Amino acid sequence: MATPQPQPLQDRVAIVTGSSRGIGREIALHLASLGARLVINYTSNSAQADSLAAQINANSATPRAITVRADVSDPVQVKSLFDSAEQAFHSPVHILVNSAGVLDGTYPTIANTTVESFDRIFAVNARGAFVCAKEAANRLKRGGGGRIILLTTSLAAALKPGYGAYTASKAAVEAMTKILAKELKGTQITANCVAPGPVATEMFFEGKTEEMVNRAVQENPSGRLGETKDIAPVVGLLATDASEWVNGQIIRVNGGYV
């Protein structure tokens, strides 16, 4: 009988923030299918996070997924997130995927964006990505297999009205990622962004009228909204050794939206 081939992420430890639902959930499932051991991070959806962990652990003799509540904008909680991963799996963390994000579902113009909304969006999207990437840069395994993957948005290229604070927060992440990739020289840790276009998730549909949704479909050459399964395999590729020559890049996964 042939010896089974190891999976691409066999026993590597991956933290996926914001993975109780949406794109983050699909990414966690995909990385698990590639052999990774998962830390499922959430802030409020504990039941959904527990359900995902149970799904991943269902056919395994030993736990391959744990859940950890942490606010990505809080350095103390993010440190605890990495500590929990190392303690649970007796291994350094190999992969960080930062998928946590928020937007303003009223889609205000910049002139009508409140300072409170701006601060909330930047706290999660920009500060959260910074805090997680900072911890990862100091904690990920050196010498191979280290991957920092931050989710941004194709709106950073499309520049649509109504998304001023959200787009600005993600554009900041893209700039940081390109710099981080250079600063990690010699570690064999790569840093990249995956920038989805419109994807059919709770966050995308928040506050949108049917007309707004239809417009997003019509503007896409592919003639549909993206699905979470369109995004996860791209993140999966970036997490594997096959992507070691991809570094400091913004990969827009959007069906031709921009």
Query: Catalytic residues, which ones?
Result: 166
Q: Which two tokens stand for residue 186?
A: 């010699």
Backbone angles phi, psi at 66, to 5 degrees: -130, 160
Q: Cα–Cα distance between 114 and 118 in angstroms, integer?
A: 6
First to last CA, the chain: 49
Give 257's contacts (C-beta < 8 A, 6+ positions apart). Answer: 154, 158, 197, 198, 219, 220, 221
Using N-to-C axis directions, what is the helix angle for 128-139 and 164-183, rounded to 10°?
A: 20
User: By the 8 A CB rule, do 20 and 52 touch?
Assistant: yes
Q: The tokens 């927060």 sit on which residue?
A: 169
Q: Which two tokens stand for residue 139?
A: 């904690």
User: By the 8 A CB rule, do 203 and 100 touch?
Assistant: no
Return the closest-CA partner of residue 35 out of 258, 239, 243, 185. Answer: 239
User: By the 8 A CB rule, do 174 and 154 touch?
Assistant: no
